[in-house]
């Protein structure tokens, strides 16, 4: 049975579990929590970790907000005047070592109810994607294998469908490159559209959320002790610049948060601590940096590529 309080409590617990796991993995820093309230209704817990042994800057945010759906969003969704309730967890981690990738996850629940006719709808959305600063043929294998298992447990068409959705969504159109090696992305999942029960969809959402720590632990432990140079750090900042460009220009979550008068500090916690932009920067042919750019394409088969 659908119950927003049960869903909200699970997301709060997920935030707790992930923060504890990341503190243990980092080994040097702890999250600082900032509780906030939204004037129009609801609030959240923003948690940020800084200058750790592994994570230079990371955020794990929980929110549960409600109110009247802004007219701009009503029109975009094709809704009449409605109220809304939205809750979920959002994560972005920017590692210290440039050989360790940036990772992002969002798992969320959204429901609306028409003010005039009491019609209501709900959906789940979210996903996980990986943004390595350095990319080769094996960079996306583990995350895609892991997410395919999660998807296959729910539906055989979920992985190819949501992998494609991620490739298309996490695409920096003005650069003609993907943000990273992708992962999965999905939205508007409910019983009517998917032909699955609420319990099945909720189980899928929970499994996505719980896959985050094993995935990130794999990539962190794989490269956290690898030596790096000033040149590697320079490239890391250049790629962080691309991350900023996507989040500020194309990301729907950023736009929704700002359009619903969300908390700016929490919305922009995904920004890296430092990023660089250089005019027409072109890495030298044959370098690891130039090789990385060759892999930032849609529709690559990461599972069998390595």
Catalytic positions, written as ranges: 104
Length of the chain, in residues: 306
Q: What is the dihedral of CA 63, 67, 73, 75, to 10 degrees?
A: 160
Number of Cβ within 10 Å of residue 238's Cβ equals: 17
State how far the Cα of 169 lies from the Cα of 172, in Å rounded to an integer: 9
- Of the CA atoms within 13 Å of residue 291, those in its CB half-sphere come to 9
CB-based contacts of 193, cutoff 8 Å, min separation 6: 123
| Three-class DSSP category at 13 | helix
State how far the Cα of 70 lies from the Cα of 81, in Å rounded to an integer: 9
**Structural contact between residues 130 and 143, judged by C-beta atoms closer than 8 angstroms:** yes
- Give first-to-last CA distance, the chain, whole Å: 42
| Three-class DSSP category at 119 | coil
């Amino acid at each position: 049975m659908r119950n927003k309080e049960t869903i909200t409590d699970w997301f709060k617990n997920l935030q707790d579990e992930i923060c504890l796991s990341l503190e243990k993995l980092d080994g040097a820093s702890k999250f600082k929590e900032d509780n906030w309230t939204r004037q129009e209704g609801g609030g959240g817990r923003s948690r940020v970790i800084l200058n750790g042994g592994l994570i230079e800057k990371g955020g794990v945010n929980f929110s549960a907000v409600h109110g009247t759906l802004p007219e701009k969003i009503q029109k975009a969704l094709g809704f009449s005047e409605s109220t809304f309730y939205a809750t979920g967890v959002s994560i972005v981690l920017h590692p210290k070592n440039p050989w360790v990738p940036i990772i992002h996850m969002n798992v969320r629940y959204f429901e609306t109810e028409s003010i005039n006719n009491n019609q209501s709808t709900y959906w789940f959305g979210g996903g996980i994607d990986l943004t390595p600063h350095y990319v080769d043929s094996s960079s996306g294998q583990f995350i895609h294998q892991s997410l395919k298992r999660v998807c296959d447990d729910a539906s055989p068409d979920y992985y190819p469908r949501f992998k494609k959705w991620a490739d298309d969504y996490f695409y920096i159109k003005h650069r003609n490159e993907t943000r990273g090696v992708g992962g999965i992305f999905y939205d508007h999942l409910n019983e009517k559209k998917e032909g699955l029960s609420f319990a099945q969809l909720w189980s899928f959402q929970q499994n996505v959320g719980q896959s985050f720590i094993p995935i990130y632990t794999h990539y962190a432990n794989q490269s956290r002790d690898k030596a790096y140079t000033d040149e590697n750090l320079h490239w890391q900042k250049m790629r962080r610049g691309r991350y900023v460009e996507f989040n500020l220009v194309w990301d729907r979550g950023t736009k929704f948060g700002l359009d619903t008068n969300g908390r700016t500090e929490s919305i922009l916690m995904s920004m890296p601590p430092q990023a660089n932009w250089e005019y027409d920067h072109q890495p030298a042919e044959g370098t690891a940096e130039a090789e990385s750019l060759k892999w930032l394409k849609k529709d690559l088969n990461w599972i069998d590529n390595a």
